[in-house]
Amino acid sequence: MQDASGTQKPSILVVDDTPENIDVLKAALKQQYAVRAAINGHTALKIAAMSPPPALILLDIMMPGMNGFEVMRKLKAEAATQDIPVIFITALADMENEIKGLEAGAVDYITKPFNPLVVRSRIATHLALHQARRMLELKNEELLRERTLVENIIIRMRSHKQFDDRHLRYLIAPVDRTNGDILLSAFTPEGRQWVLVGDFTGHGLPAAVGAPLLAHMFYSAAGAGGDIEAAVANINDVLYRQLPTEIFMAGCIAEISRSREELRIWSTAMPKAILLGTDGKIRKTVPTTGILPFGAAAQIDVASGCARLSVARGERFYLFSDGITETANASGELLGLAGVESFLTARDPAAPLDGLIEQLEEYHGSASFDDDITFVEIIF
């Protein structure tokens, strides 16, 4: 049914076993709505399941055979009718039944005798709310599709065939598909190995946007046999210029010499790196090297921000993000560097790294972590 302007009127289903009540509601609503009626619950359910469904249902509670609460239960059990707004309109004026009706899923509760103006006002309000909710759902669905598309693009852009895992073992356990942690590894043409472990601020898409840019710079410089110090400076410069001020990267950038006897590392805002000796004991920990997070400032002091280590065959060097050290137990106590050291010194160095995840889950009390986890072992 259309109104005078030719617009299709919203349909209202009135369910009441008293014809006089139906007539009063029809008279009150017929100007704005197409009114359909049912004198029992079975008929109401049949009408509600028809296409198109009613925009809203006015539902009596005290009816023979099937009462309003049972009708509501059946409406909510079917996908085709569960989202139709329902207003109970009943002579049951006690608070207990009103609470029961609202808990059953009604959007409103009107007691008899009712004022037709109040009924029209409540209907208009709930139809507007329902329409707004539906528009929000559609917008959220659209945003989810767009987010998924962007996530897939970023994931493809992060996946590099240049990643070279020689002399590496690693674990990555992201919170989101597009996580803020990143691991890159490459060899220069003359045999130097570059490894980068990065942790961008935040989570999700904002934290992941810098990863493709970073990977492009890293692999381009390594593939060209570039100078590691120039690459570190360039990474900082480009991240600073291209990313929003609130997005920067804590990270470790390491270079292993061709002979694999010397290690240079630039570490900023990351947990201490750990060098494990051939005897399975901690030989050295390397703190952050005094430079700001990459992309946080226009310039960093690359020369003074470098730490140097002599390493021997069979030793292992560990880089990891703070998602590990900041894993908390039920009491809020952090695992900390001591927890990582305990894990490393208590295990067979050749054992799989998966044991770390098991230890973190046991410590945290859950397999769901609050931050991305990246753990890298460089083998000499």
pLDDT at residue 151, rounded to an integer: 59
Strands in 168-173's sheet, in edge-to-edge order, are 168-173, 373-379, 316-320, 273-276, 282-286
Q: CATH classification of 11-137 is 3.30.365.10, yes or no?
A: no
Q: What is the CATH number of domain 159-379?
A: 3.60.40.10
* Entry pTM: 0.65
pLDDT of residue 49: 95
pLDDT of residue 66: 95
pLDDT value of residue 121: 95
Domain ranges of the chain: 11-137, 159-379
Per-residue confidence (pLDDT) for residue 71, from 0 to 100: 97
List per-block mean pLDDT (blocks of 10 residues) for the chain, which spans 380 residues: 66 96 94 95 96 96 95 96 96 95 96 93 96 91 73 57 90 70 93 94 69 89 95 95 90 96 95 95 90 92 93 96 93 95 91 90 88 92
Q: 225: phi > 0 → left, psi -120 to 50 → alpha, else beta; which? A: left
Cα distance between residue 98 and residue 108, in whole Å: 9
Q: What is the pLDDT at residue 370? A: 81
